[in-house]
Structure 1
Amino acid sequence: MPKPLITQAMIDAYDEYTHLTLDRRGFMEKLTLMAGSGAAAAAIVPLLAANAASAAIVAEDDRRLKAEDITYPGSGGDMKAYLVRPADQQGRLGTVIVIHENRGLNGHIRDVARRVALEGFVALAPDFLSPEGGTPADEDKARDMFSKLDPARTAANGVATVAYLKNYEHGNGKVGAIGFCWGGGTANMLAVNAPDLAASVAYYGAQPKAEDVPKIKAALLLHYAGLDQRINAGIDAFRKALDADHKEYSVYVYDGANHAFNNDTSAARYDKAAADLAWGRTIAFLKEKLA
């Protein structure tokens, strides 16, 4: 069977379904019209969605790493998290919070945390769904749970995460963050709410309000996808506010790339060239700011 043709309109419809108001039934009806049949639509959905069965870039049992599931004090309750650091660590290292997409702490984000640790950091991937019991195996259920999160408590849990890592025994006291999609917006808000955060990297993340920008102390690295009209609509106002308050930041827009271009488990949206370029910039930035 030939590989289904995936159009930009299909990708946009999926983005509307996963981030805005379109429900699954409405999405499938729209996709069926675009694809020409229900069978074609059914074949396309797995290519648009993240594939949990995709192979990890860094194996869970990679001997170069020490990895464990932990809990630590959050705001009003424990936070679940995945903690990874180099197995041969010498001295104290910079620490990086890896913030998940709107699917929770899944296998892909655990893989990203391992990638960060291999670059010479302590990586902590919190489960921000912990107040709701933690990330479920069903990613559609996980996505629905995000609407139940209290934004104020999420922000407080982020601040608590920074505090935990500042005092982590194998860390050097410098804390950075990297977030994707929902996590990109959360990384931006963490920069607003945590004055002790040294560096924040947001991949296609929603921008904070202009009036919140003066609270930011961290250096910012902002990655955007050229085709991501929904998120990109806020770039100019964010940039203007950052400039007005003389903040340290860099913005990169990757032409031709879609929202979630870094997620290599999504066949239709992953853009290797953009992902590799953004990742190289991210690691260089974190090494500079967390040394």
Structure 2
Amino acid sequence: MHSSTKTNTIKQNCNKPKSDKLNRPSVATSAIPQQAFDWYDEYAHGDIDRRTFITRLASLSIVGLSAGVISSALMPNYANAEQVSFNDPTIKATYHTFPSPHGHEEGQGYLVVPNGLKEGEVAPAVLVVHENRGLNPYIKDVARRLATKGYIAFAPDALFPLGGYPGNDDDGRAMQRSLAREKIEQDFIAAAKWLKSHDKTSNKLGVVGFCFGGYISNLLAATLPQEIDAAVPFYGTPAPVERQEKVKGPLLLHFAQHDKRVNATWPGYEEVLKRNGATYQAYTYDNAQHGFHNDSTSRYSPNDAELAWQRTLSFFEQHLR
């Protein structure tokens, strides 16, 4: 069973974010030309360096907007993007290590547990997978958001073997590129198995990931089809072709209209899912950019992000409860 839906009209958000202190960059998204977003996507994925990105921005002729202003708007400002405080009394956040014999021997992640769990009580779990720059504050916040909804959330840091997320995305991106991709993948496979076997989790495990994390979500759905009960890739590429035949779902896939790189991989992947008889739903958000759920930059689209998140929560409620 499958369905594929293109969203033409995005509804107003269903539930207000927990915090109203989401100070967005002062530049309106509509004022930034699409070319700048495309260049930022190249920069964020390591296709061009920072100097080339800034040089290209300087070539744009936009009244009232300098390259520095556009760059500042596009670069993440994590300090202003917190929706759930790490001091929220309804949750408890700690760091835990896990064995990864086929990866980097040992991994570490950010575990967030609902405080309401009684002795011996269990809850469904969700693995939260970061982008291509390590466990930054935005991904930690996503884990806390899930915990406030009653899930045990675990967000591993691929950069743990190098000391963890360094505090800025440029260094984080370079660090993640320096690690063997195969070992990073094995670390996330090990993290999923560790989380599912945790004494506080039920036998239900979901995964949600963004960008690189979207790829890992697809990879886990293909590699651990019996262990992953629900996968939600946000703008993620599919697993390697040789693994795709094992994907059965259920999957909930979110795409952005202005994301040519990722979107180009979807038609072929969808054909595989149809052949597999996989259960999936796919949504494309009109006029949205790659990274539209990340509320720390001008790529953030509040209505699209909230609608996609509410769909994600409903999907997890359906398949993990």
Answer whether TM exceeds 0.5 for this pair. Answer: yes
Letter in 1 for 2:116: D
Of 241, 264, 286, 1:255 maps to 286
Q: CA deviation at 1:115?
A: 0.3
Of 234, 238, 243, 1:207 maps to 238
Deviations 1:124-177 (A, max 9, x none): 000012233321112101011222222221221122112111211110021110
Residues 237 and 262 in structure 2, CA contact (< 8 A), matched pair in contact too? yes
Of 217, 228, 233, 1:187 maps to 217
Q: Secondary structure at the match of 1:255?
A: strand
TM-score where L is the length of structure 2? 0.86
177-186 or 70-79: which moved more?
A: 70-79
Letter in 2 for 1:27: F
Q: Give the Cα–Cα distance (whole angstroms) in 2 for the partners of residues 115 and 36 of structure 1.
A: 38
Q: Give the Cα–Cα distance (whole angstroms) in 2 for the partners of residues 160 and 167 of structure 1.
A: 11
Answer yes or no: is 1:40 the counterpart of 2:66: yes
Q: Which runs of 5 or more structure 2 residues have no equivalent in the other structure? A: 1-25
Answer yes or no: is 1:9 the counterpart of 2:35: yes
Q: Give the Cα–Cα distance (whole angstroms) in 2 for the partners of residues 3 and 18 of structure 1.
A: 19
Q: Give the Cα–Cα distance (whole angstroms) in 2 for the partners of residues 193 and 134 of structure 1.
A: 25
Q: CA deviation at 1:256?
A: 0.7
Letter in 2 for 1:216: V
Of 184, 191, 200, 1:154 maps to 184
Letter in 2 for 1:180: F
1:76/1:40 CA distance change after superposition, 3 Å: closer
Q: Secondary structure at the match of 1:161?
A: helix
Using CA pairs under 8 Å that are at least 6 residues apart, name the structure with larger relative contact order, 1 or 2: 2
Of 51, 62, 69, 2:77 maps to 51
Letter in 1 for 2:129: I
Q: Secondary structure at the match of 2:245?
A: helix
Letter in 2 for 1:108: Y
Question: Which residue of 1 is the match for residue 310 of structure 2?
Answer: 280
TM-score where L is the length of structure 1? 0.94
Q: Give the Cα–Cα distance (whole angstroms) in 1 for the partners of residues 55 and 196 of structure 2.
A: 49
Q: CA deviation at 1:107?
A: 1.0
Q: CA deviation at 1:20?
A: 4.5
What is the root-mean-square deviation of aligned Cα atoms in Å?
1.8
Q: Give the Cα–Cα distance (whole angstroms) in 2 for the partners of residues 282 and 96 of structure 1.
A: 11
Share of identical aligned residues, percent? 38
Residues 1-291 of structure 1: pairs in structure 2 closer than 5 A: 3=27, 5-35=31-61, 40-74=66-100, 75-90=103-118, 91-195=121-225, 196-266=227-297, 268-291=298-321
More helix by proportion, 1 or 2? 1
105-114 or 11-20: which moved more?
A: 11-20
Q: Give the Cα–Cα distance (whole angstroms) in 1 for the partners of residues 81 and 274 of structure 2.
A: 41
Deviations 1:28-53 (A, max 9, x none): 1100011569x811121121111122
Q: Secondary structure at the match of 1:63?
A: coil
Q: CA deviation at 1:119?
A: 1.1
Q: Give the Cα–Cα distance (whole angstroms) in 1 for the partners of residues 27 and 61 of structure 2.
A: 12
Q: Give the Cα–Cα distance (whole angstroms) in 2 for the partners of residues 152 and 35 of structure 1.
A: 43
1:197/1:3 CA distance change after superposition, 3 Å: closer
Residues 104 and 184 in structure 2, CA contact (< 8 A), matched pair in contact too? no
Deviations 1:38-91 (A, max 9, x none): x81112112111112214100110001011122121234221111001111242
1:76/1:25 CA distance change after superposition, 3 Å: closer
Q: Which runs of 5 or more structure 1 residues have no equivalent in the other structure? A: none
Q: CA deviation at 1:253?
A: 0.5
List structure 1 runs of 4+ shifted beyond 6 angstroms: none
1:95/1:40 CA distance change after superposition, 3 Å: same
1:51/1:228 CA distance change after superposition, 3 Å: same
